[in-house]
C-alpha cells in the first residue's frame, strides 16, 4: 500500500471521527436547548406565551441540529473526496 493510500485511509478515519463528534455535540446542544426552554424555565400550557415560547425554542433547536448534522456530513464527504483526489492525481485509482 502506497503512502498516498495510507494518507487517504487516515483522512477517512479522521473525517468519520470528526463527524461522530459533531453529531454528539449537535445532539447535546439540541437536548440542552429543549431542557432549558421547557423544564428549567417552567413553560406551561395555558400561561401567556408559555407554549408558544417553548414551541419556538424546540423548532429553533431542531433546525440548528439539522444544520449541524448536514455540515458534519458535508465536511466528512469533502475530506473523503479530497483524499481520493490525491490518489486520482497520482494515477493510483481510476475513479
Question: Is 62 among the domain residues?
Answer: yes
pLDDT tier for residue 33 given thresholds of 50, 70 and 90? confident
**What domain count does the chain have?**
1
> Which residue is associated with the grid cell 453529531?
23
pTM: 0.74
Question: Is 95 among the domain residues?
Answer: no
Geometric angle at alpha carbon 77, from 81 and 69, rounded to 5°:
165
Question: Is 21 among the domain residues?
Answer: yes
How far from 50 is each of 46, 63, 67, CA to CA, in Å? 7, 20, 26
47 or 63, which is more confident: 63
Domain assignment of residue 65, given as a range:
3-89
Contacts of 15 (CB under 8 A, 6+ apart): 75, 76, 79, 80
Amino acid at each position: 500500500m502506497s503512502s498516498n493510500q495510507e494518507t487517504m485511509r487516515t483522512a477517512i478515519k479522521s473525517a468519520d471521527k470528526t463527524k461522530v463528534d459533531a453529531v454528539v455535540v449537535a445532539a447535546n446542544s439540541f437536548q440542552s436547548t429543549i431542557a432549558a426552554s421547557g423544564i428549567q424555565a417552567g413553560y406551561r400550557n395555558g400561561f401567556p406565551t408559555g407554549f408558544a415560547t417553548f414551541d419556538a425554542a424546540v423548532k429553533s433547536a431542531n433546525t440548528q441540529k439539522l444544520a449541524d448534522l448536514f455540515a458534519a456530513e458535508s465536511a466528512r464527504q469533502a475530506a473523503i473526496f479530497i483524499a481520493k483526489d490525491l490518489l486520482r492525481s497520482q494515477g493510483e485509482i481510476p475513479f
